[in-house]
Chain A
């Protein structure tokens, strides 16, 4: 047994070059996996934390009711685990002393260190921190422009006069466009009583913000007390629940990171499999000699198994170190470019996983080529004979093990057995397609090389099918590698498209509410005359839900165990149109765009709303539209991408029913400067005193920011793993050089000049690269389509440019590497090459 180890070691010494390549594909695969795992995990963690700024705290409890003493002591008691800040907000008229203009605003009186996460952006920057140092107030930028207020002016709020010490440019925590948003002003809490604004019976909202060391505590507290205090009017929000706002972008990111880790590993597997395949091919002669000297097949097999496992261990150790190093170094090297500060934590779990996977992969994927060793005939010493290959049961067992391994790993990474099974089936499918293509190419090339072609072309083509060709292995490895890389690349494009709509150039930033039907056309004309685009204009009808199936709203509300009561009681703002828009996806049923006048009206519900009211497809619902009962039926369920700035509706009616109902309109536009937006607001309010205009610039900043960062993560991780994928591909092509050495040298000996030899190799590699990359891209198109539709639930579109980028990159890389291989050979004297490695 020790002899086997000794032999494995001795045999590896002189092969360090080839083994280095084999090891490097493990190193790269594992490094990619470990760093992607770790870096991705940290990024996700940091972005998660960033999401804290949506709320500004770990936990927020809000109520609009008067707080009972018992409830108050509960609110105080949970502050002992961390820190607490308080806010009271209410609508109030304020007047600007200089101009005597008045305006209804949302007054926010604050006390404490809120916001704990994120910042209230002000000008000057210190204004918010210094708010409580006197009778200070901060105003929205919009309002200041609108009323020509400058810093130092005075504002009267209730009985008190405050000095404007800052301009608010961004507020955390406002993530969705709520209808009727009014501008905010901030005042210190200590002046609230003196202002005399809070009196018995006035409507105000109290918020308590908590910050805890242990992030989980917020959710635990929420879980524990929510039920008990909800009847008291307390609303609990934790970061997790507020994240739902951007949940789609988050979900996309998490899934994408999983996908990246998975693909990095598969690329590693391909690298290992092709490296071992070519390595073992070169070892067959040695095995034959050993067999002649009387070694048994199993022992020869063991020698190389030990060698491969040893290299696998070394490779994965180096890979783990490299991966951890990368993960440490990347954030500091990239800190200027990273929009987020990425923290660093060594994850022993991912290190252990990396080492284990490295060995497992090297052995498992080496087994198929290794098994051939058992069948090497000693006759090879007398006469180099045809390929050896394991045919028996063993081969199928190994295939089964590999399948099980990929399935298991995919399952761990993705968490869904069905999706994992589809992944494995798809990889199998790709494998079969690529093998078939390789076989077809060899078959065709053998049959149809015209004899009137030039010597070089014929040689280049013939290299594809002659004995010892590399067609099969390279088409498989380049093809599969291309398929994975391209899938990642295409998915990246699709996902970025999907989540960055909000960042597009024509992003709306101005909403006009409460436009009456007769005013509609005048408003359009006004907007048009100021050269502003009408991005969206929708009619809104308000209505109340009366009946779900046979249950009336009263009956449902009487059930005190019922959850989601908000959904039953709300005053619904409903629109109607004949089509769905691009932020909406029908997930069940069929959308009906025009009501034909017969039977109940077919409507579409947003999926969470449908769940909240307990309605499913084909259930009858009754709505009360300003006193008139309207019978409807749920004909479709929609999903809405909330991260887009659009007016989105939980309930959607078809055309031909609500046109005559009392309604108002909402218009969305985009202004390109603050001046323009102030002018527009002025003009609109002057012409139509009843409407309200809201600018969204500050409100959007948090969401925008977050989506920007998520896009960055997707971009970065995609790039990172695509690069490792390319490195691994380079590895497999470099390995193949050994196949062509003798031949090139012989051609040179026979009088071919360097250019001819180079051209022959160029033809061969270009053909291989083209065939493999092309097939790989086709597979990636199928794969990314399936991923987009079934996993990411995003719309799919084929773009030509990325396809061309991938094709050109892969083919030129293969050709370049292939040629640099032959250059290396050509620059050395033939004798040295012949005497070197055989």
Chain B
């Protein structure tokens, strides 16, 4: 199968004062199209940093990132923005809805950015799928955490991304709500045939993906194929 994400010898270090802090140390892996893939590790191990680099949100110190066959580590921020809008979806631990837009408008933004016609219909359809059609004109502050994350799911899938990055998507939610959001995440992922890159410290959740890599101290220490993924 074709690979959608190819990370080679990726390193990232931060300059803090006079000290250099290496957060990621020569990480390499490859993710196949349509795969569900999880990154686990203790807090501070570099998961978020790795995700940010893979999704083209940040610039690496060295190494390469290839997304859909395109090298994104050398690109300018604006070029990467275009790639993100075309191919990438995001889910964040803290939801990151735009507080000044309604649920519906939040979902519409990626569509409108692409210049899609009838963004409203499509956005409503997605909101219906996450069960929030009747809340479409509510602002984020009027929604619960779980509801906000469902809106953010709808938004992530609205541009039909080929790859979806999720950074601890249920980290801020209670178990029951997490369950609902996870179920939705995997369901939508299947329906759209999207590749999923999931960062979590929840090992149970990780086991539901096809493959899990473990990071510790910025190094890739384990690479497991899970026996019982949701397919």
Chain A residues proximal to chain B, CB less than 8 Å: 3, 6-7, 10-15, 285-286, 288-298, 377-379, 381-383, 835-838
Contacts and interface: CB of A to CB of B under 8 A. Distances in A.
A14 B77 CA distance: 29
B101 A10 contact: yes
Given A379-B52, A379-B57, A381-B90, A290 B99 contact: no
Contacts of A294: 81-86, 88, 110, 113, 159
B58 interface: yes
Nearest to A376: B77
Nearest to A287: B98
A285 B51 CA distance: 19
A296 B81 contact: yes
For the complex of A and B, 10 pairs with smallest distance between CB atoms: A294-B85, A14-B100, A294-B84, A378-B57, A296-B78, A11-B100, A379-B57, A293-B110, A381-B96, A289-B96
A292 B90 contact: yes
A290 B90 contact: no
29 contacts: A3-B113, A6-B112, A10-B105, A13-B100, A14-B99, A15-B100, A291-B77, A293-B84, A293-B90, A293-B113, A294-B83, A294-B84, A294-B86, A294-B113, A295-B113, A297-B77, A297-B81, A377-B57, A378-B84, A379-B52, A379-B57, A379-B58, A382-B48, A382-B52, A382-B92, A382-B167, A835-B141, A837-B141, A838-B99
A726 to B, nearest CB: 31
A835 B155 CA distance: 21
A6 to B, nearest CB: 8
A458 B81 CA distance: 43
B133 interface: no
Nearest to B77: A297
Nearest to A835: B141
Interface centre among A11, A14, A377, A835 (most CB of B within 10 A): A14
A294 B113 CA distance: 8
Given A382-B92, A383-B48, A292 B57 contact: yes
Contacts of B141: 835-837
Contacts of B159: 294
B27 interface: no
B58 A377 contact: yes
Contact of A381 (B57, B109, B115, B155): B57
Nearest to A282: B99
Interface string B1-42: 000000000000000000000000000000000000000000
B139 interface: yes
A382 B77 CA distance: 16
Interface in B94-122: 96-101, 105, 109-110, 112-113, 115
Contacts of B155: 293
Given A294-B88, A294-B113, A381-B92, 7 more contacts: A3-B112, A10-B100, A286-B98, A292-B57, A294-B82, A295-B85, A837-B99
Given A294-B85, A295-B81, A289 B57 contact: no
A606 to B, nearest CB: 68
B200 to A, nearest CB: 14
A3 B109 CA distance: 10
Contacts of B86: 294
Interface in B144-175: 155, 159, 167
Contacts of A378: 57, 77, 81, 84
Nearest to B82: A294
Given A290-B109, A379-B58, A11 B84 contact: no
Interface in B55-85: 57-58, 77-78, 81-85
A378 B85 CA distance: 12
A814 B107 CA distance: 42
Contacts of B85: 293-295
A381 B89 CA distance: 13
B9 to A, nearest CB: 21
Contacts of B99: 14, 286, 837-838
B105 to A, nearest CB: 6
Nearest to A383: B48
A381 B48 CA distance: 11
A15 B139 CA distance: 12
A834 to B, nearest CB: 9
B145 to A, nearest CB: 10
A763 B78 CA distance: 44
Contacts of B92: 381-382
Contacts of A10: 100-101, 105
Nearest to B87: A294
A289 B98 contact: yes
Contact of A296 (B51, B82, B167): B82
A465 to B, nearest CB: 17
A3 B96 CA distance: 21
B109 A293 contact: yes
Nearest to A289: B96
B78 A297 contact: yes
A590 to B, nearest CB: 62
Interface centre among A286, A288, A291, A381 (most CB of B within 10 A): A381
Given A297-B81, A379-B57, A382-B167, A14 B139 contact: yes
A377 B139 CA distance: 24
Nearest to B110: A293
A151 B48 CA distance: 103
Contacts of A297: 77-78, 81
Contacts of A835: 141
A291 B79 CA distance: 11
A296 B84 CA distance: 10
A381 B105 CA distance: 19
A382 B81 contact: no
Contacts of A289: 96-98
A11 B86 CA distance: 23
Interface centre among B48, B84, B86, B155 (most CB of A within 10 A): B84
Nearest to A375: B77
A524 B155 CA distance: 99
B101 A11 contact: yes
Contacts of B88: 294
Contacts of B139: 14
A382 B51 contact: yes
Nearest to A834: B141
A377 B59 CA distance: 10
A15 B100 CA distance: 7
Nearest to A15: B100
A557 B95 CA distance: 95
B84 A290 contact: no
Contacts of A383: 48
A292 B82 CA distance: 10
Interface centre among B51, B52, B98, B141 (most CB of A within 10 A): B98
A292 B84 contact: yes
Contacts of B58: 377, 379
Contacts of B82: 294, 296
Nearest to A385: B58
A7 B112 CA distance: 10
A837 B99 CA distance: 8
Contacts of B110: 293-294
Contacts of A379: 52, 57-58
A295 B115 CA distance: 12
B24 to A, nearest CB: 14
A292 B166 CA distance: 12
B57 A382 contact: yes
B111 to A, nearest CB: 10
